Amino acid sequence: EKTPDRYYHPFKGKRFDMPLMITQFKADSGKTRVELYYGIPSSEINLTVWGDTTRAIVKQGTFVFDLNWNEVTRYVQKRRYGIGKKILFDDFYLLIDRGTVILPPGTYNFALEVMDEATEKVGSERQVVNVRSFKSNRLQISDLLLASKISAQSSLPVYNFGNLEIIPTLSRNFTPHQPIFVYFEIYNLVPDSTHQTRYRIETVVRPASDIKKPLLANLLTGMGNLLGLSSKKTEVSTSFDYQGNTTDEFIYHSVELTNPEPGKYELIIRVTDLNSKASVQNQISFNIIKMPHNEEEEH
């Protein structure tokens, strides 16, 4: 798709690509919270070592346009990274960072740019984004956020997500023995006469390609009752029932596949409101890749 002449790159310099993952969640006043996780390749930025800490300084800009490239909003800031023993790089040597934009539903052109002030190299990514609407009162589910780890709140703001620490997996690549974490939000559950919500979450994993080997999986969660684990050829599913006292819920799971073959898979989350009988689902693809030889030896 050709970029109109009126669009220009705000940051000047030699350009490099960055992986970008966009997830959307409900915000206040009928708007949508758009989370942009991106990775800066370590080979493209200047890293300075100070004792046990590695430092980097970049200028980051998030630019939002309408479909005619009229600017809607922009966020420009200087980002200073101090990287100690808790490394911000994932397995592919990316410096993970994040931007958040609150927008009304609609279709927008997004431009994300990062400039290393030492080398003047510029990372850029452009996407057309259909910002979802969460205005309806019907049962809804957010986008699914894949992660390599979800735990208690982190001291690193880039990973803070409410009261959780979420380390996203931008590549959507997991090794066979690696847990697959997923975060999502449920909106507009209907309470019963005792003000309790009751809902069921089914998690399904199936190959996106023609993988014949049967799948086995464990699903780890901090709440709910296990209803059962079923295996149907190459598809596995787990189902839990939950009770709560709020109409919106914030959920994360960990799925561990047992000796899966390398390839592309789909993770499907289905939610059923047991009070209203409404149902909704969302899905996301991910990849199982071969482990490096040194990791295979450890297992």
DSSP string, 139-154: -EE---EEEEEEEEPP
Pick the CATH number of 15-131 from 3.20.20.70, 2.60.40.10, 3.40.50.300, 3.30.420.310: 2.60.40.10
- Does the pLDDT of residue 141 top 90, yes or no? yes
The terminus-to-terminus CA distance of the chain in angstroms comes to: 46
Q: What is the DSSP letter of 261?
A: P
Count of C-beta atoms within a 10 Å radius of residue 12: 10
Q: What angle do CA 263, 268, 270 make, to 5 degrees?
A: 170
Q: Looking at the whole model, is its pTM more than 0.75?
A: yes
- C-alpha dihedral sign at 15, 19, 23, 27: negative
- The highest-confidence range among 40-44, 187-191, 221-225, by mean pLDDT, is 187-191
Spatial CB neighbours of 299, under 8 Å, sequence gap ≥ 6: 177, 291
Q: What is the DSSP letter of 286?
A: E
Q: From CA 147, how far away is CA 167, in angstroms rounded? A: 5
Q: From CA 131, how far away is CA 103, in angstroms rounded? A: 8
pLDDT in tens, 206-231: 888 655 555 555 555 433 333 334 44
Task: Give me the phi and psi of 158, to 5 degrees please.
Answer: -60, -25
In the three-class reduction of DSSP (H, G, I as helix; E, B as strand; rest coil), residue 291 is classed as coil
Which pLDDT score is estimated for 116? Answer: 86
Domain ranges in the chain?
Answer: 15-131, 140-298
For residues 282 and 233, the model is more confident at 282
- Do the first three CATH levels of 15-131 and 140-298 match, i.e. the same topology? yes
CA distances to 22, 140, 151, 166, 242 from 239, rounded to whole Å, are 27, 18, 22, 23, 10
> Which CATH number does 140-298 carry?
2.60.40.10
For residues 217 and 118, the model is more confident at 118
Which pLDDT score is estimated for 293? Answer: 56
Point out the least confidently predicted range of 32-36, 62-66, 77-81, 188-192. Answer: 77-81
- Does the pLDDT of residue 85 top 90, yes or no? no
DSSP states of 85-135 as a string?
A: SS--B-TT-EEEEEEEEEE-SEEEEEEEEEEETTT--EEEEEEEEEE----
Residue 4's pLDDT band (boundaries 50, 70, 90)?
A: very low
Do residues 48 and 56 touch, judged by C-beta distance below 8 A? yes
For residues 81 and 114, the model is more confident at 114
